[in-house]
Amino acid sequence: MTVGTKGAAVGAQRTVMITGVSRGLGHALTLELARRGYFVIGCARSQEKIQSLQQEISALDPSSSSRHLLTTVDVRSDSSVRDLAKVVVEAKRIPDIIVNNAGTINRNNKIWDVPAEEFDMVIDTNIKGTANILRHFMPLMIEKKHGIIVNMSSGWGRSAAAAVAPYCASKWAIEGLTRSVAKELPSGLAIIALSPGVVNTDMLTSCFGSSAALYQTTEAWAPKAATMILSLTVEDNGASLTV
């Protein structure tokens, strides 16, 4: 695991951790929170895209890049996530909020035509990746007695569509996982399933083709999503919400 930037001083500034920050929703949300002055822990698989994101944050405020921790992590790997947790502990930056955003979708196909490796990629990223983050970060939040976890869901985690059965299955799993974990949490913590709504991302283009351009951009979505996520409280524990 390669760390891009590290935060220095630890103060009252809230810390938000986001997975899958290299593109789409995670990328836009990271920039929005950095713009608002939050300390962001961001991770993705691509070191090149992590470096590019770091440059974008620096362009917003040249003095801000040192206030964030951006790193390469594959959430599908339990050991990679464990290493991230160690770095976060060493930096004394236990997240106040975690957004489990990293996700992928299968190419439009009937389930019997989806290659096994493609099915595994969806399940391993969307479900196991989320579980790996919970495994290594929830104990830190429990010890801190404070924390909000946002598991990114989908409208297709509450309904169904043809040609995306693996993705639907993974997001239905996220809904069930979230509701179950909500019953296990001690006071001071909450976990929420959050559907982003319909947003023009690479994943939407994979499903809708050129029609994806008819929907809101990630840049238009991010301010609304950030405001909503930052306003979540323990009273929202177990809820299934939509931006």
Catalytically active residues, by annotation: 167
Classify each residue of 163-178 as buried b or exposed e, where b means 16 or more C-beta atoms within 10 Å of its C-beta: bbbbbbbbbbbbbebb
d(CA 29, CA 19): 10
How many of the other CB atoms lie within 10 Å of CB of 184? 9
β-pairing, 39-44 with 69-72?
parallel
d(CA 3, CA 1): 7
- If we measure between CA atoms, which residue out of 193, 171, 174 comes closest to residue 237? 193
CA dist 140 to 36, 41, 137, 181, 233, Å?
A: 25, 15, 5, 15, 18
Q: Are 38 and 13 in contact (CB under 8 A)?
A: yes
Q: Are 27 and 154 in contact (CB under 8 A)?
A: no
How far out from the chain centre does Cα 155 lie? 16
Length, in residues, of the chain: 243
